[in-house]
């Protein structure tokens, strides 16, 4: 039973503030992901939880136990690294058994536990092989078995799939998630891939320049980003800035890029006329119809021209220009049959807009 509490944790390297006062409460059995661009401090934070990096300030607890003052091998955390860190001069069995030997487990238990760990990751019978005889996906499984064999309270995974090709990455992320659920183990996972994070996490912390910008379930982070940074990082979006013109009930008319946008985001009723705000409108929230077609009741509509169509199979991306020249991005699940470059009507449900307290930069 292990919740992880990270409280006011900070670390600088010289002038670089890698992690700036991060506080996170990770629940027992939760799959929690640190997501953010390169250099935002994900690995540094994970290494502090593992015990490979000292804290400048703050504390870390596993359950009731304070662990940031405890050496790594006494934290009972298993770690999987980006490059697997498999010892090339040891067999698969030797690699998996390594952590048990280091912990002084008696030899006749070692083989048994190593075999069980290999079975968990579907590598039974591979114990005698050498690392160079394995594929990338198999090496990744060995790294996972080596982490699980010590029966850790928590598993820490730093971009464990980044060396794999796209198809295997999708397959392995599902396997990691299944295994974590089955073992009921708390997982702290690091990735810069927003799709991967959304696919496997109970909750995500989006990091930017050493700080956490938002914590939430994948669907909330995607649909209700707290900041323009999160909106942009979690996939394609239309980010606009403008000023509030007037209110229509609990919605606001916002002039942005020379056009009036109806914004129905939570809290928008409180934004005073004249206030500069930013807002995000996801491409899939935009509906394209024939010019002059009436939108559903309560929806906003704009006149636009389709200027580019990108057919991607399951998804079609459509670039539209408004008469001011403002460009919007739309996405449709099915390629609309009649879709061609030229004039269209564009409509959206104003409730699907997310607003920010200030303009987007
Ligand atoms: N040992 C170190 N010495 C000096 N600077 C470091 C050290 N480790 C990390 N940094 C710096 O701290 C910042 C955060 O690095 P970190 O490795 O935590 O980022 P990250 O989010 O894991 O990035 P990536 O996605 O590229 O792995 C970066 O600016 C990095 O250059
Ligand atoms: Mg990293």
Structural domain includes residue 233: no
pLDDT at 338: 77
pLDDT at 99: 85
pLDDT at 265: 85
100 and 215 part of one domain: yes
Q: Report the chain's mean pLDDT, rounded to a whole number.
A: 93
Q: Which of 226, 261, 281 is the last residue of a domain?
A: 226
**Is the predicted pLDDT of residue 83 greater than 80, yes or no?**
no
Pocket of ligand 1 (CB under 6 A): 13, 16, 18, 36, 38-44, 192
Q: How far is the CA of 214 from the centre of ligand 2 (A)?
A: 19
Which strands sit side by side in the sheet containing 300-311, from one edge to the other? 287-289, 342-348, 300-311, 316-321, 327-332
213 and 251 part of one domain: no
**Is the predicted pLDDT of residue 254 greater than 70, yes or no?**
yes
Of 341, 244, 267, 251, the C-alpha closest to 300 is 251
Of 117, 121, 120, 71, the C-alpha closest to 94 is 117
Q: Which atom of ligand 1 is nearest to the CA of 43?
A: 22
Q: How far is the CA of 43 from the centre of ligand 1 (A)?
A: 7
pLDDT at 345: 94
Q: How far is the CA of 10 from the centre of ligand 1 (A)?
A: 13
- Give 228-251 as a DSSP string: HHHHHHTS--EEEEEEEEEEETTE
The answer to whether the CB of 339 falls within 8 A of the CB of 286 is: no
Structural domain includes residue 65: yes
Mean pLDDT lowest among 51-55, 97-101, 253-257: 97-101
Residue from 9, 11, 12, 13 whose mutation best tests the ligand 1 pocket (most atoms within 8 A of CB): 13
Structural domain includes residue 121: yes
What average pLDDT does range 104-112 have in this prediction? Answer: 89
**Is the predicted pLDDT of residue 162 greater than 90, yes or no?**
no
* Band (97; pLDDT cuts 50, 70, 90): very high
What average pLDDT does range 341-346 have in this prediction? Answer: 94
User: Which residues have a beta carbon within 5 Å of ligand 2, which is an ion?
Assistant: 43
Counting the structural domains of the chain, the total is 2
* Band (261; pLDDT cuts 50, 70, 90): very high
Q: Which of 203, 226, 249 is the last residue of a domain?
A: 226
Determine the Cα–Cα distance for residues 58 and 68; give it in Å rounded to an integer.
9
Q: How far is the CA of 212 from the centre of ligand 1 (A)?
A: 15
List residues bridging with 347 in a β-sheet.
Answer: 287, 301
Structural domain includes residue 67: yes
Q: Which atom of ligand 1 is nearest to the CA of 14?
A: 4
156 and 286 part of one domain: no
Q: Which atom of ligand 1 is nearest to the CA of 44?
A: 18
Q: How far is the CA of 190 from the centre of ligand 1 (A)?
A: 13
**Is the predicted pLDDT of residue 85 greater than 90, yes or no?**
no
31 and 158 part of one domain: yes
Largest separation between any pair of C-alpha atoms in the chain:
78
**Is the predicted pLDDT of residue 229 greater than 90, yes or no?**
yes
Structural domain includes residue 361: no
Of 151, 207, 230, the C-alpha closest to 6 is 207
Q: What residue's CA is closest to ligand 1, atom 27?
A: 38
**Is the predicted pLDDT of residue 335 greater than 80, yes or no?**
no
Q: What is the pTM of this model?
A: 0.92
Determine the Cα–Cα distance for residues 206 and 193; give it in Å rounded to an integer.
11
Residue from 40, 159, 207, 212 whose mutation best tests the ligand 1 pocket (most atoms within 8 A of CB): 40
54 and 155 part of one domain: yes
Structural domain includes residue 279: yes
Q: How far is the CA of 163 from the centre of ligand 2 (A)?
A: 13
Contact partners, residue 153, CB within 8 Å, separation at least 6: 2, 62, 63, 76, 77, 185, 186
End-to-end alpha carbon distance in the chain: 43
pLDDT at 1: 66
Determine the Cα–Cα distance for residues 168 and 176; give it in Å rounded to an integer.
12
217 and 261 part of one domain: no
Q: How far is the CA of 131 from the centre of ligand 2 (A)?
A: 24
Structural domain includes residue 231: no
Q: What is the CATH number of the domain that holds 170?
A: 3.40.50.300
**Is the predicted pLDDT of residue 336 greater than 80, yes or no?**
no
Q: What is the CATH number of the domain that holds 258?
A: 2.40.50.140
115 and 243 part of one domain: no
43 and 122 part of one domain: yes
218 and 317 part of one domain: no
266 and 178 part of one domain: no
160 and 268 part of one domain: no
* Band (164; pLDDT cuts 50, 70, 90): confident
Mean pLDDT lowest among 17-31, 38-52, 99-113, 242-256: 99-113
Q: What residue's CA is closest to ligand 1, atom 31?
A: 39
Which strands sit side by side in the sheet containing 57-62, from one edge to the other? 16-26, 4-13, 57-62, 65-66
Q: Which two tokens stand for residue 41?
A: 């401090």
Ligand nearest to the CA of 205: 1
Q: Per residue in 280-303, pLDDT tens?
A: 999 999 999 999 889 999 999 999
Determine the Cα–Cα distance for residues 90 and 234; give it in Å rounded to an integer.
41
Q: Which of 202, 226, 250 is the last residue of a domain?
A: 226
The answer to whether the CB of 78 falls within 8 A of the CB of 147 is: yes
- Give 134-179 as a DSSP string: S-HHHHHHHHHHHHHTT--SEEEEESTTTTS-HHHHHHHHHHHHHH
200 and 171 part of one domain: yes
Give the structural domain span for 72: 4-226
H/E segment holding residue 46: helix 42-50
What average pLDDT does range 313-321 have in this prediction? Answer: 94
Structural domain includes residue 99: yes
Percentage of the chain lying above the pLDDT 90 cut:
79
pLDDT at 194: 96
**Is the predicted pLDDT of residue 248 greater than 70, yes or no?**
yes
């Amino acid at each position: 039973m292990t919740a992880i509490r990270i409280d006011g944790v900070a670390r600088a390297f010289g002038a670089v503030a890698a992690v700036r006062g991060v506080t996170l409460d990770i629940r027992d059995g939760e799959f929690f992901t640190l997501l953010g661009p390169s250099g935002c401090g994900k690995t540094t934070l994970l290494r502090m939880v593992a015990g490979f990096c000292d804290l400048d300030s703050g504390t870390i607890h596993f359950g009731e136990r304070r662990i940031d003052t405890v050496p790594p091998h006494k934290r009972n955390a298993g770690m999987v690294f980006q490059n697997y860190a498999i010892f090339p001069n040891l067999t698969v069995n030797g690699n998996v058994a390594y952590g048990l030997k280091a912990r002084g487990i008696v030899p006749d238990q070692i083989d048994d536990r190593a075999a069980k760990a290999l079975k968990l990751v579907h590598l039974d019978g591979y114990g005698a092989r050498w690392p160079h005889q394995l594929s990338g996906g198999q090496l990744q499984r060995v790294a996972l078995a080596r982490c699980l064999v010590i029966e850790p309270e928590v598993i820490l995974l730093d971009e464990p799939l980044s060396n794999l090709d796209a198809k295997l990455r999708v397959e392995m992320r599902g396997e990691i998630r299944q295994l974590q659920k089955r073992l009921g183990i708390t997982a702290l996972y690091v990735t810069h891939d927003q799709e991967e994070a959304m696919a496997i996490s109970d909750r995500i912390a989006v990091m930017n320049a050493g700080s956490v910008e938002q914590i939430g379930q994948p669907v909330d982070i995607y649909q209700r980003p707290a900041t323009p940074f999160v909106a942009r990082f979690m996939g394609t979006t239309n980010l606009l800035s403008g000023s509030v013109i007037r209110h229509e009930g609990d919605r606001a008319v916002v002039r942005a890029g020379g056009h009036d946008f109806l914004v129905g985001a939570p809290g928008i009723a409180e934004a005073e006329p004249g206030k500069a705000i930013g807002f995000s409108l996801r491409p899939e929230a935009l509906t394209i119809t024939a010019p002059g077609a009436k939108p559903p009741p309560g929806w906003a509509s704009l006149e636009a021209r389709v200027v580019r169509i990108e057919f991607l199979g399951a998804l079609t991306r459509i670039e539209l220009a408004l008469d001011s020249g403002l460009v919007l991005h739309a996405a449709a699940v099915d390629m609309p049959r009649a879709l061609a470059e030229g004039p269209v009507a564009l409509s959206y449900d104003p409730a699907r807009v997310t607003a920010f307290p200030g303009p987007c930069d």
